[in-house]
Amino acid sequence: MTAKVVTVTSGKGGVGKTTSVANIAVALASRNQKVTCIDGDIGLRNLDVVLGLENRIVYDLVDVVEGRCRLRQAMIHDKRLPELYMIPAAQTRDKTAVSPSDMVRLCDELRPEMDWILVDSPAGIERGFKNAVAAADRVIVMTNPEVSAVRDADRVIGLLEAEEKGPVSLVINRLNLAMVKRGDMLSVEDVLDLLAIDLIGIVPEDENVIVASNKGQPLALDPKNKAGIAFQNIARRLLGEEVPFMDMDSPTVLQRLLGRK
Amino acid sequence: MGETSLSIQIKGIRDGLLVSLGGAAWPELVAGFIKNIDERSAFFQGGRVVLDVGPQELRVAELSALRDQLSERGVSLWAVLSESEVTERTAQNLGLATRISKPRPVEVAEAASQSLPQDAAKWVKGPLRSGVRIVFDGNVVVLGDVNSGAEIVAGGSIIVWGRLRGVVHAGAQGDETAIVCALELAPTQLRIAGEIAVSPKKQNKTQPEVASLQDGHLTAEPWHESTGR
């Protein structure tokens, strides 16, 4: 078994990197893949909360790097899924506690045991970002359909291309179809036009995502939720399946019962 | 001082430290330089380094590895000077400067009238993404989009075979005959010589346009009307 290291990054903060890492990890693990996700946001960790594992942290990434524990000891097993693990970030340190070569070494140690290693990158393009992409075999750039997020994604893609990291694929998160239709939001086509890279997922905006994150219960576990399905589809595409992009416009079951679109 | 230090010269300049590496194979030079830094870490800590690599041809992997090694030691690499075009392009791809400020030549006016030599054009493959900056004395031709956040400064004219959304400055040394043309002209800001304009709110029609200075005013017009140029 040789794991693929996938880094999720965005440049801009708050576009949904952590939520996506948690959901893609859950989606992959629910397809019988062995998955470890690593929180690269040292000092501002969040992945543990979104996955609902915060109260089980004993050791973290920095403990591993600095040799205070073995790698296995820092891997928290998610009990909902048989093969999902998380390595939390340290909360009391900063990005300089880890170097890009540390990340490469750590991922190399994990590779033989896993199918997937997902790295949650912090916002920005500095040390934390460099750490997160150091070991990446492929990179997912997240963006929201808004000008500032797209511009930051563009910058990040430029940096990744310059470092010859790849392949780089795009996830458009929090797409609000009603706003697109009104012309108040960039459409998928607008974003793709600008960024000119492969699309691997479109996630509709859904307030349940926030509720689920707060509860620590990733939505990808919910087979009926559209955002959850979108994350499942990303996982399937990572696994090499050809999955058509979901028709966000189709009426929900309730709307259909009520006889309106 | 060891043998390696013979080929490594360090001197202070206005923009930080100018480090000249030359006369040996790249891995040796890097090792020597890193050793040098480790021995005098207090001197280098927080420093901004301009690297002069002479004719060395460096690829992205080599340069980015060195940059990472430096940043791990608290030294930031911000510019690379080289006689090799390959290295210059690599540095530009990594967002590093390839020129440091020198006193401008006095005969700017004269340079302006000659800054459009027919043969001197820099050919750039797009898309130019946010954060990329192209600086060239002659004309610049971009094959692909120029996204917002990218910047082109050219001594001569700028031609974009794609959408132009970034900041462009043509005739940067004062050449008022410089033009900017693009398949879709929607720059964040457009400058020719000393004039600055922002593009009007976007109309729906997109057509190739050319911007030029006419009687001191920046004007943009559809391409077909200006074929007479």
| Complete DSSP assignment for A38-103 | EE--TTS--HHHHHT-GGG-SS-HHHHHTTSS-HHHH-EEPTTSTTEEEEPPPSSS-GGGS-HHHH
Give the residue on B whose Cα is nearest the Cα of A196. Answer: B127
Give the residue on A whose Cα is nearest the Cα of B145. Answer: A194
pLDDT, one tens digit per residue, over B79-97 is 888 888 888 888 888 878 8
- What residues 138-167 of chain B have any CB closer than 8 A to a CB of chain A? 145, 147-149
Q: Which residues contact B182 (CB under 8 A, 6 or more apart)?
A: B146, B159, B160, B161, B162, B163, B164, B208, B209
Residues of B in contact with A65 (CB under 8 A): none
Q: Does the pLDDT of residue B6 top 90, yes or no?
A: no
pLDDT, one tens digit per residue, over A225-234 is 999 999 999 9
Q: With CB atoms and an 8 Å threshold, state whether B149 touches A154.
A: yes
Query: How many whole angstroms separate alpha carbon B109 and alpha carbon B106?
Result: 8
Q: Which of B61, B131, B148 sits opposite A158 (nearest CB)?
A: B131
Q: Does the pLDDT of residue B112 top 60, yes or no?
A: no
Q: Which of A100, A130, A194 sits opposite B147 (nearest CB)?
A: A194
Strand partners, B19: B10, B51
pLDDT, one tens digit per residue, over A176-220 is 999 999 999 999 999 999 999 999 999 999 999 999 999 999 999
Give the residue on A whose Cα is nearest the Cα of B128. Answer: A158
The end-to-end CA distance of chain A, in Å, is 47
Mutate to test the interface with A, among B66, B80, B130 (most CBs of A within 10 A): B130
* Residue B4, min C-alpha distance to chain A (Å): 25
Q: Does the pLDDT of residue A11 top 70, yes or no?
A: yes
**How much is the mean pLDDT over chain A?**
92
Residues of B in contact with A10 (CB under 8 A): none
Q: Does the pLDDT of residue A125 top 80, yes or no?
A: yes
Angle between helices A207-215 and A17-29 (to 10 degrees): 70
The interface predicted TM-score of the complex, written ipTM, equals 0.73
- What burial class does residue A253 get, using C-beta atoms within 10 Å of its C-beta: 0-12 exposed, 13-18 middle, 19+ buried? exposed
Q: Does the pLDDT of residue A244 top 80, yes or no?
A: yes
Higher pLDDT, B8 or A180: A180
Higher pLDDT, B143 or B110: B143
B198 — pLDDT class (breaks 50, 70, 90): confident
Query: How are beta strands A76-77 and A168-175 bridged, if at all?
Result: unpaired
Angle between helices A127-134 and A100-110 (to 10 degrees): 30
Q: Which of A100, A127, A164 sits opposite B61 (nearest CB)?
A: A164
pTM of whole model > 0.90?
A: no
